[in-house]
Amino acid sequence: MKLESRIKNSELKELIYVAPSKIHGTGVFARQALAEGEYIGTYHGPVAKRNGTYVLWVYEADDEESAIGRSGKNLLRYLNHRSPGNAEFNGFDLYARASICVDEEITFDYEAE
């Protein structure tokens, strides 16, 4: 079941929190158990015109020229890389790709298509 897109930090805080990460600096952690396929949140921020910290690019694997970037302004900007991650993006929407336990760090593969 797909939930409405959540873009406000106050709404994201129902499912996640930010804390120090053993992977890198700051990370995003599950506040409650998340089932495989469950919607976590939407990467929200202004359109990015160039690459930088917290920019997420979305494009088709064979069409990088049509890439759309967002400069993350909500809590999801603190997601860290792990291969394979336990979450994945569909556009700018983040979903659990496996069950995620309470207090487990939520990660995604920066290189995944």
Domain boundaries, the chain: 9-45+74-108
Q: What are the backbone angles phi and psi of residue 77, rounded to the nearest 5°?
A: -65, -15
Q: What is the mean pLDDT of the chain?
A: 85
Q: Which residue type occupies 22? A: K
Phi and psi at 63, nearest 5°, equal -145, 65
Through-space distance between the first and last CA atoms of the chain, rounded to whole angstroms: 23
Question: For the whole model, what pTM was predicted?
Answer: 0.83
Separation in Å, CA 112 to CA 49, 60, 81, 85: 22, 11, 10, 9
Superfamily holding 9-45+74-108: SET domain (2.170.270.10)
For 44-69, what is the mean pLDDT?
76
User: 10-54, pLDDT tens digit by residue?
Assistant: 778 889 999 999 999 999 999 999 999 999 999 888 888 787 777
Cα separation of 52 and 45, whole Å? 13
